[in-house]
A and B are shown apart, each in its own frame.
Chain A
């Protein structure tokens, strides 16, 4: 993400803007950070990339970009025959263990907003630090053989291009129909996301920062047409969250 911001600065100095879809790849990351103050473990053998996408979608669709990135990762992993599943919003799990994660940030440069779509995918890296043991896995761990990183990257970027394209198509359709998610517009992106998600029906714990401060437990019911997670408490009352994170228990 730092390198992409550097590229934006260089483009600005030349009076240009960074091209949509510009992607920076790293072999390994040494001082990377996840959300909040979490460490982002990124050794050799994994796919670590960030794509810049300018803010050209309406807010109600740009907020679905994290879903698009998660869906792309999940579909890329599934091309290797693994039963990858999505946990709301965009964690990718194989048999309950995290194989890919997404970090989305936004930056504003010269009045233009960019979404930085960061992806970490455990591919040929086999060993994990103690805190990730039992909760993380990789393609090589599941397949029992290494995969070509260049080919995996190609598959991932193709899926990312497809998923973001689907989101732009959704926006076009919604504008034509003059029907948005709050009025029940059914997004094709979310339909595809839902098909690969194992979140509905799970007993979950929810929190804004689930590791530091879990807030409550509930049953995940579904996602609403705007991407919000519908959860039900034991007394039957429901709540919808549009931010935060969950763990299954």
Chain B
């Protein structure tokens, strides 16, 4: 079992060596008429500023019911492709419009590899999140990676418009390996909140992290 996992990791690592980029597809936010602003091969910047208040490079504008919105980049990189045939056209919600190629740093590669092997529990809505009192106290006492989580556990509280909702874990049982938010952080829908590692995979995951740290230039 352990050797199979190692072979699997070798493949993942080789893939990142061959192409150390993350490709982010940008889809239409909703239905409407699209006009592209960013051009193919142009550089784009993501959001910045202490409060993430400085918008990224404008990518496209979408208009519906005389309401025009300019959509901006969330990560930096290069515009790898633009679906030019859609320029000036009415598109459905979720249609792929362009792709940004983002160069990965060592830390991001480790994280990307981890995200392929951990069970990721994602934010149900765009909201602010914090751990439930029980989980937070277990993290404070023993450290995150000693905290065992199983389906049905109340793990996180989601705070949206001053309404607090408990969030129950659903997924593979295991140890709380990675935490992707700080308590009180604003997190977009679908972004991972935590990564869970089944106990038996834990040593292999640690080994991969060590290896990538050592080998990656």
A residues whose Cβ falls under 8 Å from a Cβ of B: 35, 59, 63-67, 89-90, 102, 104-108, 113, 115, 179-180, 182-184, 208-209, 213, 215-216, 227, 233, 237-239, 241-245
Q: Which residue of B lies closest to A209 (CB)?
A: B184
Contacts of B125 in A (CB 8 A): 59, 63
CA distance A66 to B161 in the complex (A): 7
Q: Contact between B128 and A208 (Cβ–Cβ < 8 Å)?
A: yes
Contacts of A102 in B (CB 8 A): 162
A107 and B160 in contact (CB under 8 A), knowing A183-B64, A216-B51, A241-B186?
no
How far is the CB of A112 from the nearest CB of chain B, in Å?
13
How far is the CB of A197 from the nearest CB of chain B, in Å?
14
Q: Contact between A243 and B186 (Cβ–Cβ < 8 Å)?
A: yes
> What are 21 A-B interface contacts by the 8 Å CB criterion?
A59-B125, A102-B162, A104-B161, A113-B165, A182-B29, A182-B30, A183-B30, A183-B32, A183-B64, A184-B64, A184-B65, A215-B51, A216-B51, A233-B53, A237-B49, A237-B53, A237-B55, A241-B186, A242-B127, A243-B128, A244-B159
Q: Is B103 part of the binding interface, using a Cβ–Cβ cutoff of 8 Å?
A: no
Contacts of B164 in A (CB 8 A): 35, 104-106
A183 and B67 in contact (CB under 8 A), knowing A208-B184, A216-B51, A239-B53?
yes
CA distance A105 to B52 in the complex (A): 28
Q: Contact between B53 and A245 (Cβ–Cβ < 8 Å)?
A: no
Q: Contact between B166 and A63 (Cβ–Cβ < 8 Å)?
A: no
Q: Contact between B165 and A66 (Cβ–Cβ < 8 Å)?
A: no
Q: Is B54 part of the binding interface, using a Cβ–Cβ cutoff of 8 Å?
A: yes
Q: Which residue of A lies closest to B126 (CB)?
A: A242
Q: Is B31 part of the binding interface, using a Cβ–Cβ cutoff of 8 Å?
A: yes
Q: Scoring B residues 135 to 169 as 1 if CB is less than 8 Å from chain A, else 0, what string do you get? A: 00000000000000000000000011111111010
Contacts of B55 in A (CB 8 A): 237
A-B pair number, CB within 8 angstroms: 82
How far is the CB of A194 from the nearest CB of chain B, in Å?
15
Contact of A65 among B31, B52, B128, B163 (CB under 8 A): B163
Q: Scoring B residues 48 to 71 as 1 if CB is less than 8 Å from chain A, else 0, what string do you get? A: 011111110000000011010000
B residues whose Cβ falls under 8 Å from a Cβ of A: 29-32, 49-55, 64-65, 67, 125-128, 159-166, 168, 184, 186
Contacts of A66 in B (CB 8 A): 161-163
How far is the CB of B61 from the nearest CB of chain A, in Å?
14
Contacts of B162 in A (CB 8 A): 35, 66, 89-90, 102, 104, 243, 245
CA distance A244 to B53 in the complex (A): 16
Q: Contact between B186 and A242 (Cβ–Cβ < 8 Å)?
A: yes
Contacts of A239 in B (CB 8 A): 51-53
CA distance A245 to B160 in the complex (A): 11
CA distance A215 to B163 in the complex (A): 20
**Given contacts A66-B161, A242-B161, could you give 15 more A-B pairs where the C-beta distance is less than 8 Å?**
A64-B161, A90-B162, A104-B161, A105-B163, A105-B164, A105-B165, A106-B165, A115-B163, A179-B64, A179-B65, A182-B29, A183-B30, A183-B65, A239-B52, A244-B159
Q: Contact between A184 and B67 (Cβ–Cβ < 8 Å)?
A: yes
Contacts of A208 in B (CB 8 A): 128, 159, 184
CA distance A116 to B55 in the complex (A): 36
Q: Contact between A106 and B166 (Cβ–Cβ < 8 Å)?
A: yes
Q: Contact between A108 and B186 (Cβ–Cβ < 8 Å)?
A: no
Q: Contact between B53 and A243 (Cβ–Cβ < 8 Å)?
A: no
Q: Contact between B161 and A108 (Cβ–Cβ < 8 Å)?
A: no
How far is the CB of B148 from the nearest CB of chain A, in Å?
22
Q: Contact between A243 and B165 (Cβ–Cβ < 8 Å)?
A: no
How far is the CB of A100 from the nearest CB of chain B, in Å?
13
Q: Contact between A238 and B161 (Cβ–Cβ < 8 Å)?
A: no
Contacts of B64 in A (CB 8 A): 179, 183-184
Q: Which residue of A lies closest to B32 (CB)?
A: A183
Contacts of B67 in A (CB 8 A): 183-184
Q: Which residue of B lies closest to A182 (CB)?
A: B30
Q: Which residue of B lies closest to A206 (CB)?
A: B51
